Amino acid sequence: MTLEDIERGKISKLEKILVVWRRILLQKQNLYSILVLWLIFCLLLYRVPERIFTRVSAVNTTAVVEVLRDQIPVIEPAPSGDAIKRFEYVQSHVELYDGVAATPYEFNSRLRNDADIAQISTDLEHVMAEYGYYCLAATHIGHLKHIMRIGGRIYVNSKILVTDSEMIQSKEESAFYTGFEIVKDRAETIELEYFDDAGYKQTIIWGGMNSICAQHCLDTINGVRFALNDEL
């Protein structure tokens, strides 16, 4: 096939296409671009970036968990059974729970177990009804999860976004140390971010009793001791 054949139109359409591709490939810049695009296509086709990210994330997460595990004291698990027994067990082993930070609740669809929240919520409700508490953290009944119950609702993985500059003094009693009261400085108003029991993120502005209860429970959940040894 010669240049004259091309000019006279004596070649088929397929041959014309092949000639055009040959000219393109002969240009190095275009060749490099095609190779890069082809490589990207193959990577995406076999989901290589996702697999690499998943692998790296898993390795990093494992490393972090192992480091954190070394810093967490060995905690004797509270016995299974009804909520009152768990609560009584924690009260008799306060040194194992007071000052220990709870772990966030996992809402990942592959790890999530709705029964966990439902069971903890029910346990908290029973203890609160039995002892007349308005609020209680899951830690108080031996569940080291970032869950608390205030009034009739459950609050998961909560954090305070904004606190009011106005502070008030609050006389509080911990479920760890029944019958012992201590005065705490609390923000009068807070803005709370939390997840509900269905896993939806919510925000709420609280004042008064709810504000104090949220701060009290979050101290327990985050491992802040209710009182120093010399205050007990």
Q: Is residue 14 part of a domain?
A: yes
> Is residue 14 domain-shared with residue 92, that is, in the same domain?
no
Distance CA 154, CA 147 (A): 7
* CATH number, domain with residue 202: 3.90.45.10
What pTM value is reported for the model? 0.62
- Domain span at residue 162? 79-231
Q: Estimate to the nearest angstrom the gap between the alpha carbon of 211 and the chain centroid.
A: 22
Amino acid letter, 171: K
Overall number of domains in the chain: 2
Residue 13 tokens read as 């359409």
> Is residue 110 domain-shared with residue 194, that is, in the same domain?
yes
1-5, 68-72, 139-143: which is most confident: 139-143
Distance CA 142, CA 93 (A): 10
Distance CA 35, CA 29 (A): 10
What mean pLDDT comes out for the span 94-123?
76
> Is residue 153 domain-shared with residue 223, that is, in the same domain?
yes
Q: Is residue 74 part of a domain?
A: no
> Is residue 108 domain-shared with residue 162, that is, in the same domain?
yes
> Is residue 61 domain-shared with residue 115, that is, in the same domain?
no
What residues form DSSP beta bridges with 189? 207
> Is residue 44 domain-shared with residue 90, that is, in the same domain?
no
What mean pLDDT comes out for the span 177-191?
87
Give the pLDDT band (50/70/90) at residue 212.
very high
Residue 195 has pLDDT above 80, yes or no: yes
Distance CA 189, CA 191 (A): 7
Q: Is residue 56 part of a domain?
A: yes
> Is residue 22 domain-shared with residue 112, that is, in the same domain?
no
Listed residues 15, 37, 67: the one ending a domain: 67
Q: Is residue 195 part of a domain?
A: yes
Helical residues (DSSP H) of the chain, grouped into ranges: 3-8, 13-26, 28-45, 48-71, 83-92, 114-131, 208-221
Distance CA 166, CA 188 (A): 6
> Is residue 189 domain-shared with residue 107, that is, in the same domain?
yes
Which residue in 122, 130, 138 sits closest to 84, CA to CA?
Answer: 130
3-state class (DSSP) for residue 138: helix
pLDDT of the residue at 153: 92
What mean pLDDT comes out for the span 156-170?
87
Average pLDDT, the chain: 76
* Residue pointed to by tokens 């010399």: 230
> Is residue 88 domain-shared with residue 112, that is, in the same domain?
yes
